[in-house]
Amino acid sequence: MPSTIIVAAISMLVWSCGGGQSEKTQVKILGTVSGSENLQTILLEEITPNERFVVDSATVNNGEFLFSFAPDQPGFYLLSTGKNNFVTLLIDTTEQIIFSGNAKELGKNYSISGSIGSVLIKELEDRLLSVEEYLDSLQQNVADSQPSVQFALVKQKNDSLMYLAFERHRNYLQGFVVANQGSMAVIMALYQQVGRTPAFDPEVDIELFESADSILLQYYPRSVHAQTLHQNVMKYRKKITADELMNQQLALGAPAPEIVLPAPDGKIRTLKSLRGKYVLIDFWASWCKPCRMQSSFLVKLYTKYKEEGFEIFGVSLDQNKTAWENAIRDDKLDWIHVSDLGYWNSSVVKLYNIKSIPMMYLVGKDGKIIAKNLKGIALSNKLNEIFGF
């Protein structure tokens, strides 16, 4: 995980090699690495919010190495042989750690014991690797089918599977955070990314962040990790409060602000013209991977309810018309589409206080907002409640 995602590590290390400091040594890392014939040293690095830097090195003799030091707080460290070859550890102050891995790929197929936090980090990383390999296989299936007449069907099916896989991983991470509150490993879970997509949005998932924050700050009041997470959560909450004030005009029961934008054919379409129907306003873009991943799910809902008075009003934040039109065609999005191609400068961004996409508003027949940002099963359940099936 990039060092910028992990909150600050401990502020001081006391090394056992100093005169008279051997009594303070509490942590030992005994490691063995295979494929180490040409490896002379292995590094112990510390992670801070903005950088990673070497704090000690150990000689590798016959594939074995030893670190011994005395941290005064739990912290995140790396065992590494270089910038891109490392394994992440979460080390407490009184651990005797045994590590075994391959010198060429330290972060893959390694084993670790004697460190509860590091075992949890390994669980997170192994699970993420499994999900990303699965998503890569789905993308490869789509690429392989591209010359085929079945391409559209394969893409639709795989987009749906990708979306479900991402949601399952989010559910796993939520369970991980709840089950391991009190461990700083939850910080890595909160900020984990699948590819380049964060698993959680701190503003949307604020309750999860606040729950972890309160317990970590209680357990580790002097820890820079806990303090930094707390500062971040306070910023998230402050921003949410400010947004809530701005969003009073977007509250449930308020009239949905009018949208007047051109469709791909240049004709002006308005939200107001759809009065008498239930309308899902879908803010998306062709370049937004999570938006595209949920396309097949929306297609199913639209097919199910379009004859019952349900419409989707797709508002794109694209800036390239060709990419926008291609996404509509490729994903078979057969509903109303509009855009001023203004990207994040689009007029709708400020009008609807859009901070990220996909973002959705469900509007009733009278043009008033009845639900906000429902996705997946929650959206399906709401439509089932409205239409009775």
Is residue 293 within 8 A of residue 159, CB to CB? The reply is yes
According to the model, what pLDDT value does residue 83 have?
Answer: 86
Boundary-marking domain end, from 56, 85, 114: 114
Give pLDDT tens digits for 310-325: 999 999 999 999 999 9
Q: Is 255 within the bounds of a domain?
A: no
Burial of residue 215 (CB within 10 Å: 0-12, 13-18, 19+) is: middle
Answer positive or negative: Cα dihedral of 159, 142, 165, 233: negative
Burial of residue 223 (CB within 10 Å: 0-12, 13-18, 19+) is: buried
Calculate the alpha carbon distances from 25 to 68, 313, 343 in Å. 6, 63, 55
Residues 165 and 271 in one domain: no
Residues 343 and 378 in one domain: yes
Predicted TM-score of the model (pTM): 0.62
**62 pLDDT above the threshold of 80:** yes
Which SS3 state, helix, strand or coil, does residue 341 take?
coil
Banded model confidence at residue 11, pLDDT cuts 50, 70, 90: very low
Residues 159 and 58 in one domain: no
Q: Is 253 within the bounds of a domain?
A: no
Give pLDDT tens digits for 69-121: 998 889 999 999 988 999 999 999 999 999 999 999 999 889 999 999 999 99
**199 pLDDT above the threshold of 70:** yes
Which run of H or of E encompasses 4? none
Residues 268 and 376 in one domain: yes
Residues 382 and 264 in one domain: yes
According to the model, what pLDDT value does residue 243 have?
Answer: 79
Q: Is 280 within the bounds of a domain?
A: yes
According to the model, what pLDDT value does residue 156 have?
Answer: 87
**7 pLDDT above the threshold of 80:** no
- Tokens in use for 113? 């014991």
**Which string of DSSP letters, residue by residue, matches 37-95?**
TT--EEEEEEE-SS-EEEEEEEE-BTTEEEEEEEESS-EEEEEEEETTEEEEEEE-TT-
Q: Number of structural domains, the chain?
A: 3
Q: What phi and psi, each to the nearest 5 degrees, are found at residue 296?
A: -65, -30
Give pLDDT tens digits for 338-376: 999 999 999 999 899 898 999 999 999 999 999 998 888
Alpha-carbon distance 361 to 371, whole Å? 6
Of residues 280 and 12, more confidence is placed in 280
Give pLDDT tens digits for 130-188: 999 999 999 898 888 887 778 888 888 888 999 999 999 999 999 999 999 999 999 99
According to the model, what pLDDT value does residue 22 have?
Answer: 42
Question: What CATH code is carried by the domain that includes residue 381?
Answer: 3.40.30.10
Banded model confidence at residue 16, pLDDT cuts 50, 70, 90: very low
Which of 22-36, 125-139, 262-276, 358-372 shows the lowest per-residue confidence on average (mean pLDDT)? 22-36
**24 pLDDT above the threshold of 60:** no
Residues 152 and 209 in one domain: yes
According to the model, what pLDDT value does residue 172 have?
Answer: 97
Residues 188 and 78 in one domain: no
According to the model, what pLDDT value does residue 246 have?
Answer: 75
Is residue 221 within 8 A of residue 315, CB to CB? The reply is no
Is residue 124 within 8 A of residue 188, CB to CB? The reply is yes
According to the model, what pLDDT value does residue 12 have?
Answer: 28
Alpha-carbon distance 233 to 19, whole Å? 42
Q: Is 339 within the bounds of a domain?
A: yes
**31 pLDDT above the threshold of 60:** yes
Give the amino acid at 55: V
According to the model, what pLDDT value does residue 25 have?
Answer: 60
Give the amino acid at 152: A
**19 pLDDT above the threshold of 50:** no
User: Residue written as tokens 């005064």?
Assistant: 72
Q: Is 252 within the bounds of a domain?
A: no
Neighbours of 190 (CB within 10 A): 25
H helices of the chain, in order, are: 116-144, 151-179, 185-190, 206-219, 224-246, 289-293, 295-305, 321-330, 347-351, 376-387
Residues 125 and 239 in one domain: yes
Answer positive or negative: Cα dihedral of 264, 268, 272, 274: negative
158's CB contacts (< 8 A; 6+ apart) are 138, 139, 141, 142
User: Residue written as tokens 């401990």?
Assistant: 10
- For the segment 277-297, the average pLDDT, to the nearest whole number, is 94
CA end-to-end span of the chain, whole Å? Answer: 43
Residues 236 and 134 in one domain: yes
Residue 346: DSSP 8-state: S
- Tokens in use for 252? 């449930």
Mean pLDDT of the chain: 89
Q: Is 131 within the bounds of a domain?
A: yes
Alpha-carbon distance 116 to 94, whole Å? 11
Give pLDDT tens digits for 65-79: 999 999 888 999 999
| Opening angle at CA 210, ends 361 and 193, nearest 5 | 70
According to the model, what pLDDT value does residue 191 have?
Answer: 96
Question: What CATH code is carried by the domain that includes residue 56?
Answer: 2.60.40
Calculate the alpha carbon distances from 319 to 105, 245, 287, 304, 357 in Å. 41, 29, 10, 31, 15
Residue 171: DSSP 8-state: H
Banded model confidence at residue 8, pLDDT cuts 50, 70, 90: very low
Domain range for 78 is 3-114
Banded model confidence at residue 255, pLDDT cuts 50, 70, 90: very high
Q: Is 139 within the bounds of a domain?
A: yes
Alpha-carbon distance 265 to 246, whole Å? 33
- Tokens in use for 192? 């984990």
**1 pLDDT above the threshold of 80:** no
Boundary-marking domain end, from 89, 114, 139: 114
Residues 352 and 377 in one domain: yes
Give pLDDT tens digits for 216-235: 999 999 888 899 999 999 99
Residues 152 and 181 in one domain: yes
Of residues 312 and 239, more confidence is placed in 312
Boundary-marking domain end, from 221, 247, 273: 247
Q: Is 254 within the bounds of a domain?
A: no
Residues 136 and 241 in one domain: yes
